[in-house]
Amino acid sequence: MPTWQLRLLRGRPGSSPRLETYRVELPAEAYLIDAVEKIWAEQDRSLLFRHACHHASCGACGVRVNGRERLMCITPLREFSPDGVIQVEPLRHFPWLGDLLVDVSPMMRRMAEVGFAIIRRDELTADRPLPEGIEQITRFEDCIECGLCLSACPVMAADEAYLGPATLAAIERMLAEPRGGDTARLLTLADDPHGAWRCHSAMECTAVCPSNVDPASAIGRLRRRLIVEKLRRWIGGGR
């Protein structure tokens, strides 16, 4: 079995963080999350990190791997060479709680403000008969609220007040399918210097999103909608 070298960012708020190297033996079919869990289980129980589902649906295990935002549970070890070092650091632009752990509540609060529903009723299967014992078919939204896009965004780096790619994508998603929701409120939320207009099209959110949300395109559609809305109000005399 190959031995992998991991360099993890360690430390707690209040002291300056340092990089520490660990070695773990694992087959090449394993994933980065397995390596980090093994370090936690066998070498250091104080290691802070987050995970739950192990299959890219809870969004808990986002980190930066060699500088790039990834989900640990779908980052295969075979991508790396046992001779090299896999450097793992916490996401940027979130309050740091220690080791690989960050506080994602600022993003979660914004998503809640939008009223983003993670689970929706599935309309594709709406007119089909339900299987025995199943009450309703639901569908997950693409966005798993992992925060990778926020960490990758250079505007987020500079502006804490920026709504951020995930939230703007959520607003656009809600507007596309409002289901009786308050679209005017969402548009006001987006139409802000720190909202849809703050984006500088660095395109990093779409590049790192593990779930094909494509926040960059969503922000573009949101802007188009805001422009049309403005023109309509302007021509229609403030209606």
Partner 1 sequence: MREVPRWKRASGWIDLRGRREGGLAFLLMRLTGIGLVIYLFLHLYVLRLLAQGPEAWDAFIAMAKSPLFLALDGLLILGILYHALNGVRVTLLGLGIGVPHQARLFWGVMALTLLMTAIAAYAIFTIAG
Partner 2 sequence: MWIWQAFTGLLLLILLTLHMVFNHFVVEGGLRTYRDVVAYLSHPVVFTWEILFLVVVTAHALMGVRAILLDLGIGPGTDRWLKRGLTLVGLGIIGYGVWLSWWIRSRGA
> In sequence order, what DSSP letters do the residues of 172-213 get, joined into one string?
HHHHHS-TT--HHHHHHHHSSTTTGGG-----HHHHH-TT--
Comparing CA positions, the residue from 234, 232, 152, 142 lying closest to residue 199 is 152
Grouping H, G, I as helix, E, B as strand and the rest as coil, residue 151 is helix
Determine the size of the site formed for ligand FES (CB under 6 A).
12
200 part of the interface to ligand HEM, by CB under 6 A: yes
Tell me which of ligand SF4, partner 1, ligand HEM, none is bound by residue 164, counting a contact when its beta carbon lies within the kind-specific cut-off of 5 to 8 angstroms. none
By CB under 6 A, the residues from 51 to 80 that bind ligand FES are: 51-54, 56-61, 71, 73
The residue within the footprint of partner 2, chosen from 20, 113, 159, 229 (CB under 8 A), is 159
By CB under 6 A, the residues from 186 to 205 that bind ligand FES are: none
Tell me which of ligand FES, ligand SF4, partner 2, none is bound by residue 128, counting a contact when its beta carbon lies within the kind-specific cut-off of 5 to 8 angstroms. none
197 part of the interface to partner 2, by CB under 8 A: yes
Cβ-contact 211, 142 below 8 angstroms: yes
Q: Using the minimum distance from each CB to ligand SF4, give the nearer residue, 22 or 162.
A: 162
Q: Using the minimum distance from each CB to partner 1, give the nearer residue, 46 or 201.
A: 201
221 part of the interface to ligand FES, by CB under 6 A: no
Tell me which of partner 1, ligand HEM, ligand FES, none is bound by residue 220, counting a contact when its beta carbon lies within the kind-specific cut-off of 5 to 8 angstroms. partner 1
223 part of the interface to partner 2, by CB under 8 A: yes
By CB under 8 A, the residues from 97 to 156 that bind partner 2 are: 155
Q: Using the minimum distance from each CB to ligand HEM, give the nearer residue, 55 or 224.
A: 224
CB atoms within 10 A of CB 147: 25
The dihedral over CA atoms of 53, 58, 62, 65, expressed in degrees to the nearest 10, equals 50
**Shortest Å distance, C-beta 203 to ligand HEM:** 11
229 part of the interface to partner 2, by CB under 8 A: no
Tokens of 50: 């987050």
CB atoms within 10 A of CB 58: 16
CA–CA distance from 45 to each of 27, 32, 36, 40, 212 (Å)? Answer: 22, 17, 11, 5, 34
